[in-house]
Amino acid sequence: MNPLDIINKYYPEKSELKEILLFHSRCVANMAIEIANKHPEFDIDKDFVFEAAMLHDIGIFETDAPGIKCFGTEPYICHGTIGARIMEAEGYPRHARVCERHTGTGLSLKQIVELNLPVPHKDLIPETLEEQLICFADKFYSKSNLEKVKTPEQALKSIRKFGDDGIVRFENWCKMFL
């Protein structure tokens, strides 16, 4: 599969949003592959990691996030579950899991209920090494400030809004991946 074929299907026109998506996704994919290359002991499926990293944010076009040129109607936090729906429909269930599980450091059912988030009421925490790696790499890149690579401390700051569980997961990933 060429992830760009799927991206082009949902983003057929040249647009600022498509450029944001592609730039961000390439940064995440490159970091994830770089980490996978440094850790051969993990036996990470690098082809899958590249594809899924390129597609993890495919659902953003349906969200309302004008700062990154998204003019849809759904809350931005739903972009992962929207992406999962798209990837399931395209026949890529593993990629769908990455889409739905990359928000923050993943969202537990407890967090979803406590924060009254408009996403499915189920655990959305990355489980496989590939899911964790893509979620981790994603925390270092923002779609609103494309040129900046966050430090682990800056990434941690943006994770805090989802609670302590995410902080612990991120700190564990730092020890594992960096």
pLDDT of the residue at 91: 97
pLDDT of the residue at 165: 84
Query: In a structure prediction context, what are the per-residue pLDDT tens digits for the chain, which is 178 residues long?
Result: 888 899 999 999 999 999 999 999 999 999 999 999 999 999 999 999 999 999 999 999 999 999 999 999 999 999 999 999 999 999 999 999 999 999 999 999 999 999 999 999 999 999 999 999 999 999 999 999 999 999 999 999 989 877 788 999 999 999 999 9
- Tokens matching residue 78: 């739903």
Which residue has 């996704």 as its token pair?
A: 25
Task: In whole angstroms, give the CA distance from residue 19 to residue 152.
Answer: 25
Going from the N-terminus, what domains does the chain have, and what CATH number goes with each? Answer: 3-177 (1.10.3210)
pLDDT of the residue at 1: 83
